[in-house]
Chain A
Amino acid sequence: MKRYLPFIIIGGVLAVALGAGFTLYRSAKKPVTASETLADATPTPSLPPAGGPRVTPVSQTGTPAADNAHVRGPANAKITMEEYGDYQCPSCGVLFHELKKLEQEYGAQMRFVFRHFPLQGHKYALAAAHAAEAASQQGRFWEMHDLIYTNQANWANSSDARPIFIEYARNLGLDVDRFTRDLDDPAVTARVQADYQRGVAAHVEGTPTLFLNGRQLRPEAYTPEGLRMALDFMLGKKSQ
């Protein structure tokens, strides 16, 4: 028996490792049911949801200065998806493309809100948020937002991102002198800070953090399937 003991131990460890790996994979892949994708956390200080059958009461706490949110989509959409994002966060970059698909897929049923939550660990995240806000001063927030995320790998790995953002402004046909001035404008800084503080008040701890009609979505649901499941649930398409 002792002769086989090491092989029994090794076999046992292999079985446990495979079992644990499989269990972890399953729980990571299908983490929650539709209703469970929504965390029990305090609702975010969000835009008032436009309506629909499953409107969640929305807290009105947070920084009012950030209420002038960047919104894309119809005002009467049933779902308001709100993202606290950091332009340099790789996960946000991946999510950007997923959200684009969802916006097309769900069309008028959903509107999208973006709020800045630049993290200190990311060298150019704050500069990128300023660039988006500086473009917003000329009415081109979403165009700059899309450009920044689409080209994330380019500027994030550069030695100086600022000239790249100025180049984006030029490509968008913005007044480049004004854009360059606005990058350091206190109003732009205050706007980004207001979003950030609002996120802190809503218990945002990392990026991306998503809220659906004011309710925080669990990070485990940040997969294409998880997001669709949550959206369908909010639309009442599927039961729990």
Chain B
Amino acid sequence: MSRPKKSKTPQTKAASKTAAKATPAEIAAEGSASTILFAAAALLALVGLGDSIYLTVEKLAGVLPQCSYGGCEEVLNGPYSTIGPVPVSALGVLAYFAAFSLATLAAFGKRKLGDLLFYLVALMLAVSIFLFILQAYVIGHFCQFCLISAAMTVLLALIVAAERFYFRRRQ
């Protein structure tokens, strides 16, 4: 995503300090970029949603995953796979669905919900980092489906951060 070009109108040093605001054309371009980014965020959230639904269903169905060379079952059967009776992946389902809903609404113009999405994704990122550390240092095994979810969250965070700090800073 390329950054919109700045106005070529010459500005004095004093004027440039006060004129942080963009021109209407720039605002329109940045608004369009935000829409695209929110739409991309919604698509990523959909992938994460599908991944967490799969993990949750497998857990709830109680089918014993075969142990293989990957070590996924160590993670999915381990003591950290649930919080009380609730699978951790079920929380992922809720989080991704909320992220999808917020991103969709933000893409359709409800820009204030983009702020809520930002905080939600920040929380999801924190949880993902925690779960990643848990897999790496405590459980000692990685689950590929959990890694897919973590990757989706990282990408979501990058997109939402880009939208907030880069494309929307002057609106």
Chain A residues engaging chain B, CB cutoff 8 angstroms: 2, 5-6, 9-10, 13-14, 17, 20-21, 24-25, 28-29, 31, 86, 89-92, 94-95, 119-122, 205-209, 219-220, 222-223
Contact = CB atoms under 8 A, between A and B. Distances in A.
B116 to A, nearest CB: 14
A91 B67 CA distance: 7
A223 B67 contact: no
B111 interface: no
Given A91-B73, A219-B66, A21 B57 contact: yes
B61 A25 contact: yes
Interface string B98-119: 0011001101101000000000
Nearest to B71: A121
A21 B97 contact: no
B4 interface: no
Interface stretch (B25-33, B48-56, B157-165): B48-56
B62 interface: yes
A91 B65 contact: yes
A207 B93 CA distance: 29
A219 B97 CA distance: 30
A25 B60 contact: yes
Given A6-B104, A119-B68, A222 B57 contact: no
A152 to B, nearest CB: 11
A20 B77 contact: no
A-B pairs, top 5 by smallest CB distance, nearest first, are: A206-B66, A89-B67, A28-B61, A206-B68, A90-B77
B105 A25 contact: no
Contacts of A14: 97
A207 B71 CA distance: 11
* Overall SS of chain A's interface: helix
Nearest to A122: B67
- Range class of the B interface residue count: 20 to 34
B73 A222 contact: no
Contacts of B66: 91, 205-209, 219, 222
Given A20-B53, A91-B77, A94-B77, A28 B69 contact: no
B1 interface: no
A209 B67 CA distance: 9
Interface in B85-104: 93, 97, 100-101, 104
A17 B52 CA distance: 11
B120 interface: no
19 contacts: A5-B108, A6-B104, A10-B105, A13-B49, A13-B97, A14-B97, A17-B97, A21-B57, A90-B67, A91-B65, A121-B68, A121-B69, A122-B67, A205-B66, A206-B67, A206-B68, A207-B66, A207-B68, A223-B63
Contacts of A9: 104
Nearest to A91: B64
Interface in B36-52: 46, 49-50
B71 A94 contact: no
A86 B74 CA distance: 13
Given A6-B105, A119-B68, A119-B69, A24 B77 contact: no
A24 B74 CA distance: 22
Contact of B104 (A10, A28, A94): A10
A13, A31, A86 — most chain B CB neighbours (10 Å): A13
A114 to B, nearest CB: 15
A124 B104 CA distance: 49
